[in-house]
Structure 1
Amino acid sequence: MKIGINLPQTTSYDLAADVTVFAKAAEGLGFDSLWAYDRLLTPEDQSGRHGLYGMADVPWPERYGYTTDPLITLALAAAVTERVELGTGILVAPLYGPVRLAKSLAALDAASGGRVIAGLGAGWSVDEFEAAAPRPIGERGAALDEFLDVAAAVWGPDPVSFDNGRYRVSPSRFNPKPVRRIPIVLGGRGEAALERIARRADGWLPTGMPAAAVQETLTRLRQMAEKRGRDPYEINCVFQVGITDLGELGRVVDDLGALERAGVGHAYVTLPSAAANVAELLEAAGELSARLRGR
């Protein structure tokens, strides 16, 4: 199983220096991937539908209001690494114009020598949608499908043509192209999300689930894909392992072992959320790497 780690993106870090310092160190420690998540804002009013994950009155983590742009963060990491894959986990595709986002991801893949993993989701924050999204939150699933359609065109051969009645690309050149076919892994657990993964994604990106439930859902996804004429083992799983306390490193190693046995092929750990600064983060990453080698 490949194992990755999140990049530092929030206020407890010096963002002018710590992303690149940590990216180089993590690659040297043998991690397989580096990840950045997407959070546009944090609303002051977190009542009712403005709560975390759209749940009434559930407060947001403080760090969400101080989160750097994921593509800029990954570009910094790309500039100082050579081997690690670079993943968005998760980028909320409906918050962006689809043509521009497709071009940005292609440029990052080209700049990194073909290392991008596009981890995408439909989103959940009504405040973020009202602030930035081309389509309302009620159309977020359709907007994600629209991005996948646009990306397939923009990342394909020139001249690119596309017209879905909302976006129209007359025959045009789009460059740079991705170095490789960018893997697309999608979040979500609902029926519509699983159906989308089975139809058109390379994998599933869940979090906060026990290994047995992940194995059960992954098996179901592969069965769904096979019914649609796909090779079921084209559907992979990238799992986000959460951690908020560095005393939980032993639990993280155990979780990774259970996920590997459940068939997960790639996992990454949200280690920066548990560290107070980059020195603590570097020490924790070294300890995690050593524990993983000693399994």
Structure 2
Amino acid sequence: MTLRLGLGLPQMKHFAPGSDVTAVAREAEACGYDSLWVFERTLVPEDPVDGMYGVEGRPWPETFRHIADPLVTLAQAAAVTERVRLGTSVLVGPLHAPFDLARALGTLSAASGGRLVAGFGTGWSRDEYAAAGADFSRRGALLDELLDVCEEVWSPGPSAYEGSRMRLAPADVGPKPQAGRIPVLLAASNSRTLERIARRADGWAPSLTPHPVVARTRAKLRELAERNGRDPDSLTVVQRCSLRLTDKPLDAGRRTHQGTVEQVVEDLAEGVAAGVDEAILDLQAVSRDAAELTDAARALHAAVRKAGM
């Protein structure tokens, strides 16, 4: 199997939101990347209610400050590319008004020629939920409502919906997605969210997930897909990988996707063996500027393909 390679677009504070995004997008498409991706962080609280990823006492990194809006960033990339898919890994779905987000995604799909992939998650920050006026305790239900609204708004013909956050009387809503629908990926960490993927998504979007966990989860998703009458091979696994490249090999205690290009390629091969179909290489946190990011991206792409992946 050929591993699809995605690249994380530069959204962090030390990048220029306009010129760096377009420069990286053009270069990634030119050197052969399959996709470009964005993530979402809406704020960094001075006194957080939750630690990073919901772990008590874990500090938020400085790199989370001033993250550029994901959909604006993707629109910039769409305007200067023709082939690469454009994905969100991930949007914190319940932070958004579902009707507005569904319309924005439909427009972006139409504008990009059907290249959009929508990755959603429920997030972990109560501070972000408070700022959005969303109920953290209902985050799973709010994500389901967003998925329902997206199905209605993206489908042909009039759309109608009534839920806890909105009421849409029968109406013509557009633009519609270019390909008739937008593939949906979901982040997941428990049995309830895995069941949601098996019932109504196109794949799983893990981030910073050890490969043994990826393998076990992929097997569980196959089982759940079959139980729900779906083809398990239709589900894809798109893993976001936080990279750090070094000139010299790191020792046995190194973290996955960190080390020399050769070590990172070995890690990506382990991911393929565990069931990863597409790897998003995120270099922005460790790149000083767009030129350094694109140089590393070119080297990694060439090394992965040379390794036969």
Same fold per TM (> 0.5)? yes
How far did residue 16 of structure 1 move? 2.6
Query: Which residue matches 1:149?
Result: 148
Deviations 1:83-104 (A, max 9, x none): 0000101100100000000000
Q: Which residue number corresponds to residue 38 of structure 2?
A: 36
Secondary structure of the 1:72 match is helix
Does 2:200 correspond to 1:190?
Answer: no
Q: Hey, what does 2:253 align to over in structure 1?
A: none
Cα deviation, residue 245, structure 1 = 4.3
218-227 vs 261-270, which moves further: 261-270
Inter-CA distance 2–238: structure 2 relative to 1 (3 Å threshold): same
SS at match of 1:66: coil
Which residue of 2 is the match for residue 275 of structure 1?
A: 287
**Contact 1:9–1:15 (8 Å) recurs in 2:** yes
CA contact (8 A) 1:90 1:121 kept: yes
Which residue is 1:139 aligned to?
138
User: Any gaps of 5 or more consecutive residues in structure 1?
Assistant: none
Residues in 2 aligned to 1:261 and 1:13: alpha-carbon distance in whole angstroms: 34
Give me the whole-angstrom Cα distance separating, in 1, the residues matched to 2:266 and 2:14.
27
Distance 1:158 1:208, change over 3 A: same
Greater CA deviation, 191-200 or 88-97? 191-200
Moved more, 104-113 or 12-21: 12-21
Q: Which residue of 2 aligns with 1:129?
A: 129
**Alpha-carbon distance in 2 for matches of 1:66, 1:250:** 32
What's the CA shift string for 1:126-178, capped at 9, x where partnerless?
00000014x31111010000000000000011211112354211111111100
Partner of 1:260: 272
CA RMSD, 1 decimal: 1.3
Q: Is residue 29–residue 286 contact of structure 1 (8 Å, CA) maintained in 2?
A: yes
User: Residue 298 of structure 2 aligns with which residue?
Assistant: 286
State how 1:1-295 maps to structure 2 within 5 Å: 1-46=3-48, 49-133=49-133, 135-164=134-163, 166-180=165-179, 181-247=181-247, 248=259, 249-295=261-307
- Count of residues in Structure 1 that have an aligned counterpart in Structure 2: 292
Query: What TM-score do you get using the length of structure 1 for normalisation?
Result: 0.95
Question: How far did residue 250 of structure 1 move?
Answer: 2.8
Larger deviation, residues 283-292 vs 77-86: 283-292
Q: Provide the secondary structure at the position in 2 that maps to 1:237.
A: strand
- The answer to whether the 8 A contact 1:246-1:274 is kept is no
Q: Which runs of 5+ in 2 are unaligned?
A: 248-258
Bigger Cα displacement from structure 2, 238-247 vs 10-19: 238-247
- SS of the residue corresponding to residue 120 of structure 2 reads strand
Counterpart CA distance in 1 for 2:273 and 2:165 is 44
**In 2 relative to 1, CA 120–131 (structure 1 residues): closer, same or farther, beyond 3 Å?**
same
SS at match of 1:41: coil
For 2:52 and 2:274, locate their aligned partners in 1 and report how far apart those are by CA, in whole Å: 29
Amino acid across the alignment from 1:154:
V
Identical-residue share of aligned pairs (%): 46
- The Cα of 1:242 is off from its aligned counterpart by 1.3
Give secondary structure in 2 for the equivalent of 1:50: coil
Q: CA deviation at 1:207?
A: 2.0
TM normalised by structure 2 equals 0.91
How much does 1:75 deviate? 0.3
Q: Partner letter of residue 279 of structure 2? A: A
